[in-house]
Structures are given as C-alpha cells and as structure tokens.
C-alpha cells in the first residue's frame, strides 16, 4: 500500500493526474461522438439545452474544473515553499488566466470566421494553432534564445491574425463567449486568488464557496443590477460565481485530504462525506425547481444544483481513482492517463486541429469525407470516436513523455 502523501511534500499526486487524464479521454470521446448520427441521447448533452437534467456528458467540463481545484494547492504551495512572494505568484496567476482567456476567445471565433475575409479561414486556423504551439510549447532541449525567438515569432503571427480576423458579419474578434479554456481561466483566477488569501483554512474556503453561489443567485435575481455592464461582458453569475465554486470545491477537498498525512481509510471517508454533503445540498436545492429555473439541473445556465451534483459525482470518481492508484498502488494501465493528464492543454486544441485537417482532405461524391462516413451510423461511429479518443490521449501522453508539451 502506498505511503500517505500531502501536497506540502509531494510534487505531484498521481491520482489527480490520472483523474485529469481520464477526463481528457472522455472529453475527446464525447466531443467526437456529438457528430455521430444515431448516438443515443444519454451519450450527448441534455436536450434541449434548457432542460432540467443532465447526462454523463454534461459532467465532463465540471469534472475538469473540479480537478483544477484539486491540483491548485499543490502548485501554489510549491511556489510558496520556494519563497516566492504572493505578489509574484499573483502575477503568475494573472498571466496564466490571460493566456487561457486569449486562447478561449480565439478558439470561439474560429467558428464564425468569414469565408471571404482577408485570409482563408482554414489558413487562419492553421496559423492560429501553429502560433499557439510556438508560444506555449515547453521543450527543455531547446536553448533559451531559441525558445524566446520562437515565442516572439508566435506572438507576432498571433497579433497579425487578430488584426486580420473578420467574422461573417464583418466584425473583428470579440468574446461571443469565453470558450472552455476561457471559462477554466476565470475559475482558476478566482480560486487561486482565494487560496492566496485563505490558504489551508477549510472553514474559510467553505465560506468562500457559499459566497460564490450566493453571487450567482444575487446576479440572476437582479440584486446587483448596477453591475449589469460587467455581467453582460463577463457573466458574473456563472463565470465568476457558480463555476468557480466547482473549482473551489475541488480545492477545499484537496485541503481536507492532503494538508497533512492521513491514513487511506480516513481520506476515503472524507471524500465520501464531502460528496454526500454536496449531493444532498444539490438535491435539496433542486426540490425548489418548481419555484424558479435557478434551481434546475442545467449545464448551460451553470445552476448551483448542477454545479453541486457535478462536484459530488467527480468527488466519488476521484475516491475510486485515489483508492486504486495511490491507495493500492495499482498503476498498471493508468500510465497513459497520468501522463496525458499533465499535458491537458494540448488535448484541448488537438480535436479542433484534427477536424481542421480532416476538413482539408478530398471529399467523396456526396460531399462527405471518409471520416464523416464512419460517423453516419452509431455502430461505426462509436468505434470511430473511441479510437479517436484513445489515439488522442496516447498522442497527448507521448508529447508529454518527449518533453514537448503545452504549458501556460
């Protein structure tokens, strides 16, 4: 059995990496399956998007937010342990957030780029993803001068692309919404700054989570209408409220589990109790759904019941992974997931790059690509999506093992 660990002594906690890698695998699978004809409803996002309910697909994004929170204390305590000032760490947090927001907004705008703009849409996207890799690729084998030269060239290309961008309506770049990476960035910013202030105080973090959910209700009920312009631009209720509450919940669980060395059985009891509390609150709030749509389970609206039930399910999944990987020491079969989990940013752009390249291949007489034909029925589409997800996760892990990974 593995020895007890804490985030004050461990550089990484393997079960967190495995959980993140599993989320990457499922994300690639369900994103690809969304384009498969005949896929059952329970393997897609809840439909319609305003419905009260969720499928396991609706739990993938909040699972990633929760896992970001699990790993956050480890990263920040490592910096604090090296003697870095809180101001310097806050600058690092802000830089990472701005990078995620930039990538998120640019990825969203690729969906509406004009076909008759200044540059061919496919070329624009290829240059965008190429410049992103040039800027954020980490490679220890390169000399510092080469790294900075590569990054500067990538920044210049990215700036030129931003200037040349035109949407179908003729507008320039704008945050239609923040994109998945942007939403992760906002949740990371809120939770990381909270951690710098609260540190390893469970009661303080629990209070902060409650305040984040109250912020959601305050904004959606019009109690902070004077912040209307800010809410219309950022989205106070979900972007600064309920979604960061998911990440903060992951951080609170990490504090409870890994602040000190504890036996496996104690940690598992903590996780189960934590999930039970969050799940119970979610069910109780959902019982008020007849009174207001603020209390339904809905991913798009990021309602508190959905955020809480998602956090509860993710905590239970992490309990299983933690018991297998760090508790029993059974790492066979999890190496690819653990390695891929350390290079998750690459996985987020892998899918769009793949579909862009597929779209550039010759099509058949009926206008479909061979890849599209494989998704024309669920029988073949399921295996297409599964193979794609496994291959994408393997490639993500292989990039990490080779020392070439994306790091913000």
Pick from 236, 117, 221: which is nearest to 168 by CA? 117
Give CA angle at 192 (190, 198), nearest 5°. Answer: 100
Show me where the domains of the chain are located: 14-113+167-406
Cα 262 to Cα 264: distance, rounded to the nearest angstrom: 7
Predicted pLDDT of residue 1? 44
Predicted pLDDT of residue 3? 44
List, for the chain, all residue ranges whose pLDDT scores fall below the cut of 50.
1-3
Strand partners, 405: 138
Predicted pLDDT of residue 45? 94
Predicted pLDDT of residue 268? 95
Q: Torsions phi, psi of 353, nearest 5?
A: -65, -45
């Amino acid at each position: 059995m593995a020895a007890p660990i804490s985030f004050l002594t461990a550089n990484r906690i393997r079960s967190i990496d495995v959980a993140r890698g599993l989320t990457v695998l499922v994300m690639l699978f369900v994103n690809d399956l969304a384009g498969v004809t005949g896929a059952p409803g329970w393997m897609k996002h809840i439909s319609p998007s305003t419905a009260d309910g969720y499928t396991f697909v609706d739990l993938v994004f909040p699972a990633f937010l929760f896992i970001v929170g699990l790993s956050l204390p480890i990263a920040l305590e490592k910096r604090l342990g090296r003697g870095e000032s809180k101001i310097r760490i806050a600058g690092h947090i802000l830089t990472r957030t701005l990078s995620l927001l930039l990538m998120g907004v640019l990825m969203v705008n690729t969906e509406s780029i004009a076909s008759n703009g200044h540059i061919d849409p496919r070329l624009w996207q290829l240059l965008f993803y190429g410049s992103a890799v040039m800027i954020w690729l980490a490679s220890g084998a390169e000399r510092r001068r080469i790294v900075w030269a590569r990054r500067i060239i990538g920044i210049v290309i990215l700036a030129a692309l931003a200037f040349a961008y035109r949407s179908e309506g003729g507008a320039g770049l704008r945050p239609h919404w923040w994109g998945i990476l942007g939403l992760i960035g906002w949740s990371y910013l809120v939770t990381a700054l909270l951690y710098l202030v609260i540190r390893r105080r469970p009661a303080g973090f629990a209070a902060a989570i409650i305040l984040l959910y109250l912020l959601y209700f305050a904004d959606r009920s019009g109690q902070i209408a004077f912040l209307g312009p800010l809410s219309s631009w950022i989205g106070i209720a979900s972007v600064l409220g309920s979604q960061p509450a998911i990440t903060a919940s992951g951080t609170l669980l990490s504090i409870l589990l890994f602040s000190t060395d504890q036996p496996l059985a104690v940690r598992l009891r903590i996780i189960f109790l934590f999930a039970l509390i969050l799940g119970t609150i979610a069910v109780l709030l959902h019982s008020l759904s007849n009174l207001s749509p603020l209390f339904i389970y809905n991913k798009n609206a990021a309602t508190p019941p959905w955020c809480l039930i998602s956090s509860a399910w993710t905590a239970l999944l992490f309990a299983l992974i933690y018991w297998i990987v760090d508790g029993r020491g059974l790492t066979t079969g999890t190496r690819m997931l653990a390695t891929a989990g350390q290079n998750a940013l690459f996985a987020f752009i892998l899918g769009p790059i793949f579909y862009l390249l597929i779209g550039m291949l010759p099509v058949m007489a009926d206008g479909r690509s061979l890849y599209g034909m494989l998704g024309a029925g669920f029988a073949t589409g399921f295996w297409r999506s599964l193979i794609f997800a496994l291959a994408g996760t393997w490639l993500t892990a292989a990039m990490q093992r080779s020392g070439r990974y994306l790091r913000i």
